[in-house]
Structure 1
Amino acid sequence: MIYVSDTWIDTSTGKKVKMQRPDSYVRDMEIEGASHHVYADQPYIFNAVVEKICDSVD
């Protein structure tokens, strides 16, 4: 779950998913300095995070 520091989305969802899927790889992270449209506000950080996630999947 990718969250941003300035959003209206409830970030507790990521924690709920982690608890409901204890045997799954679930990680939540927050990107500072971005609003709901993180891909536009912090494109380099967003792309690096997505690339890291993709590289971690077998």
Structure 2
Amino acid sequence: MSDEGWYYDVSTGKVSQGKDPGALNRMGPYPDKDTAERALEIAAERTKAADKADDEWNN
């Protein structure tokens, strides 16, 4: 099964396409290279949204 998704490697900051069985430090898959390059920004946005949802739920 082929994987055409894009991945961001948090240890190197590099983006690559396709699965790497030895890669434990990767985020993804993302649909394209540009999106994978924004992986940390996307993660921060999702964390902020989740934190806001938690605050709304708790209050």
Q: Same fold (TM over 0.5)?
A: no
Q: Is the radius of gyration larger for structure 1 or structure 2? A: 2
Query: Higher relative contact order at CA 8 Å, sep ≥6: structure 1 or structure 2?
Result: 1
Q: TM-score, normalised by structure 1?
A: 0.31
Larger strand proportion of the pair: 2
Scaled by the length of structure 2, what TM-score is found?
A: 0.31
